[in-house]
Structure 1
Amino acid sequence: MPELPEVETVRKGLETLVVGKTIKDVTILWARIIEAPDAELFALKLVGQRLEKMERRGKYLIFKFTDYDMISHLRMEGKYETHSTDDKRDKHTHVIFKFTDGTELRYLDVRKFGRMVLVEKDQGKNYKGILTLGPEPVATEFKLGAFRDGLKKHHKAIKPLLLDQRLVTGLGNIYVDEALWEAKIHPEQPADSLKSKETERLYHAIIDVLGRAVEAGGTTIRSYLNALGEAGTFQISLNVYGQTNQPCPRCGTPIKKIKVAQRGTHFCPKCQKLKGMS
């Protein structure tokens, strides 16, 4: 699944490739991709709209048109590609935005899990899925004190708590594993049991890991490519994710993989010990 670094990289690519263009027509080949309004009205409203800006909130893309905001969530394998009108369509193409200059922006999704919704101008940040998100993982918005207070309210394991997006947004399976390794915290450690220094280490690790991943253009594990058709490079920097049985870069202990909240989870059993559990 594209996580914050991948989605931010897609946003940057689309900003370069399609901002400033005007929609001539929209073809919807799989109507269930469109959450609201209905597919026919969605397409009709976008005709004549100029794409003025690309924004992102958490893992959501926000297309800022003349009169509307279009919210797009890529889910598992959604991606955008730019094409000329004559280019052959991939069988997984589900929505085509045709521009007046003869180019197209195509949305492809092997699993068809992605969703788009059109709302009134400047209302994208008020979309139901966005309203529940925690702060962006940057120091200007993500505050250590609030993070510490939030952890103390939950006894659940730290990994699924970080995945639910409410304490801080943008973390998915890859980057939670990496941040917990960097902070030396076991993925099943109860959130309210973390000591002050552990919380501070985790706070800085989240900012560091996601920041470096954004700079690297994200992580390519399966099919992720950005809007320019490029793979991310952060996978070469992964310390634990996907490294089962490989030596921990810090202590040399073989990396272990377990299931935590139904998610494949990678950690070092020596560096990330589960503390205070009987």
Structure 2
Amino acid sequence: MPELPEVEVSRMGISPHVEGQQIIAVKVHDSRLRWPVPERVQAVVGERLQRVQRRAKYLLLETDAGTLILHLGMSGALRVVPSSTPLKKHDHVELVFANGQSLRLNDPRRFGALLYVDDDAEQHVLLKNLGPEPLTEAFNTDYLFQRSRGRQQAIKTFIMDNHVVVGVGNIYANESLFKAGIHPKRAAGKVSRQRYQRLVPLIKETLAQAIQQGGTSLRDFTQVDGQPGYFAQQLAVYGRGGKLCMRCKTRLKEIRLGQRSTVYCPQCQR
């Protein structure tokens, strides 16, 4: 599933090609996504796409008439192509622009979504209870420390909870906790303020580096398939269970935590 950095790079990729463009058609080739694509998406026809914003893993395509809420699901990808380009298999929805280009959502597994709201998108049921964005000032040591008090939940699943903070997916939770030297199973409420003071900037750094690497390698989204994938970054623990720790040479352990693969160093993380 695309994580926050991949979604942010998708936003960076499509924005220059679609912002300011007039939408002349919304073509729903197959409405059977995670939720049926509603007829109300047609409300944006004739409007200019003013901005493409991101909230958690949702892309918000804003017009004066309302906002399209787009989610890539587990396998979704976006690309901008000439509108005359033949459809690919699994091209389920497209926005057609007056300049002859189309933004297409390709989603083989159909866990993506395209929805519409005519008022404040932030108050939509999918968004209104989300935690702060991790790269903003709202996500800070005091906030995370206070939210953690009394919590017996493992620190890894705690920072992956979108009600606490959005976008810290499995890869980035593994990596951030390793950098901070915190055992992933440690109870969130037992982590000291001092350790949160170290963890918070490392979460920000890990996500920012992933976005930067994706942005650096980003090709024109009119030429590629729109699938940035996970960025070619040096991962210290994720996917390396059973291998030697890059820091201390202890063998890394892999467990299941919150039904997700969790890799950690028993020596470096306490």
TM value normalised by structure 1: 0.88
What percent identity do the matched residue pairs reach? 35
Q: Do structure 1's residue 216 and structure 2's residue 213 form an aligned pair? A: yes
Q: Which runs of 5+ in 1 are unaligned?
A: 274-278
Q: 2:72 aligns with which of 71, 74, 90?
A: 74
Distance in 2, Cα, partners of 1:161 & 1:147: 10
Q: What is the match of residue 2 of structure 1?
A: 2
Distance in 2, Cα, partners of 1:107 & 1:233: 19
The amino acid that maps onto 1:86 is S
Residues 33 and 114, structure 1, Cα contact 8 Å, conserved in 2: yes
Distance in 2, Cα, partners of 1:226 & 1:9: 11
Residues 68 and 116, structure 2, Cα contact 8 Å, conserved in 1: yes
Distance in 2, Cα, partners of 1:103 & 1:249: 47
Aligned-pair CA distance for 1:233? 6.9
The amino acid that maps onto 1:40 is E
Aligned-pair CA distance for 1:148? 0.4
Q: What is the match of residue 185 of structure 1?
A: 182
Q: 1:93 aligns with which of 91, 95, 109?
A: 91
Residues 160 and 170, structure 2, Cα contact 8 Å, conserved in 1: yes
Q: Which runs of 5+ in 2 are unaligned?
A: none
Q: What is the match of residue 272 of structure 1?
A: 269
Distance in 1, Cα, partners of 2:221 & 2:241: 30
Aligned-pair CA distance for 1:226? 8.8
Task: Map 1:5-154 onto structure 2 (within 5 A).
Answer: 5-33=5-33, 35=35, 39-42=38-41, 44-121=42-119, 123-138=120-135, 140-154=137-151
Aligned-pair CA distance for 1:234? 3.7
Residues 55 and 61, structure 1, Cα contact 8 Å, conserved in 2: yes
The Cα offsets for residues 234-261 of structure 1, whole Å up to 9 and x where unpaired, read as 4322111112233212112222221101
Distance in 2, Cα, partners of 1:105 & 1:34: 19
Q: 1:198 aligns with which of 192, 195, 198?
A: 195
Aligned-pair CA distance for 1:54? 0.9
Distance in 1, Cα, partners of 2:177 & 2:156: 8
Q: Check 1:70–1:183 CA distance in 2 against 1; reply closer, same or farther (3 A cut).
A: same
Distance in 1, Cα, partners of 2:142 & 2:3: 25
Residues 141 and 193, structure 2, Cα contact 8 Å, conserved in 1: no
Q: RMSD over aligned Cα, in angstroms?
A: 2.4
The amino acid that maps onto 2:81 is H
The Cα offsets for residues 31-56 of structure 1, whole Å up to 9 and x where unpaired, read as 133747x63332x3121121011111
TM value normalised by structure 2: 0.91
